[in-house]
Amino acid sequence: MTWWVSYEYGRLLSGSSVWPLPCQEILAALRATVWTFRGWEWRAWIGDTQVPQRTLAAFRLLDPSGNHWKHYLWLWRRNFTQAYEEQESAWIGSGRLPDNLRVDYVGLEHFSEPLPPTLLLTTHFGSAILGGAFLGRLGWSIDSVGSAVVEHPALPEAVRHHYARKFHQIGRMHQGRVILVERQPKAPYQTLTAGRSLILFVDMPPPTPEAGAVTLRFMGHSCRLAQGALRIALRTQVPVAAYLVQRLRPGRYRVHLAPPRPVKREEDLQPIFDFFTAHMQSAPWAWWAADLLPLMVQRP
């Protein structure tokens, strides 16, 4: 398997990034099919072998009346979304997006120009990573928070290089940088106090069961979520907004923006998570971190 992963991430993704977009869709569909039938996902290299099983468990939580075959189709569609997101990451890693991309912005009228320091929340849904580049097109100066897990030494070198290129170039595209928060825990606060905005992914459970959490309704369930967004908002006193990116068809995207709002307590984040839920429940298979839902849902 190592030789294939090295080829896939080291050559195939970068080489196919210049193909016509429909051909890249076909490649993503083929990769998704392989992942679905092999039950494979790159996190298996760092010991997390239960991603497909947790994803199916998440779909049962989201759609209790659905049968196994429906949820298995959703799993394939989820894998396709991630595979195509990796195609988009290859565009980013090359330093240049395809010339024929078209983007609509919904809700942009709620944002002032120039953008004041704002905490921009999002989830691992659709084309969220590419969304950073789309926000950079607006002239917004943004840093984003990433994870050093993609530098884990157990990962094949080609996978680590794929993410390193993506992180370097997406920072440039949104006129900032990617912060690996495990190494620079103070940097998100420094970004906002320095006058820039910050992208933060928030569809994650607390890092450990004992860690502090916020409890909010998300995807139809009461969930314990990592409290980083609340801590950052309270300490910096910046407004909090949100975005999601929907891929409509090859080359055509829509960025949905939720207006900035003050956050003074945990409950103030609920409208943002309602915004996420409203969009994500219409296409749950496009949530490529759905496997985290069983780790977030509060049990009776």
Instruction: List per-residue pLDDT tens for the chain, 300 residues long.
Output: 678 888 999 999 999 999 999 999 999 999 999 999 988 777 888 888 899 999 999 999 999 999 999 999 999 999 999 999 999 999 999 999 999 999 999 999 999 999 999 999 999 999 999 999 999 999 999 999 999 898 999 898 999 999 999 999 999 999 999 999 999 999 999 999 999 999 999 999 998 888 889 999 999 999 999 999 999 999 999 999 999 999 999 999 999 999 999 999 999 999 999 999 999 999 999 999 999 999 999 876
**135 with 285: CB under 8 angstroms?**
no
Residue 139 is encoded by which pair of tokens?
A: 């002239």
Q: Please give the single-letter amino acid code of residue 114.
A: P
The torsion angles phi and psi of 155, rounded to 5 degrees, stand at -75, 145
Q: What angle do CA 212, 213, 214 make, to 5 degrees?
A: 145
Tell me, what's the pLDDT at 48?
86
The torsion angles phi and psi of 120, rounded to 5 degrees, stand at -105, 110
Neighbours of 16 (CB within 10 A): 15
Residue 52 is encoded by which pair of tokens?
A: 């497909």
**200 with 229: CB under 8 angstroms?**
yes
Q: Give the DSSP H/E element, type plus range, for residue 216.
A: strand 213-218
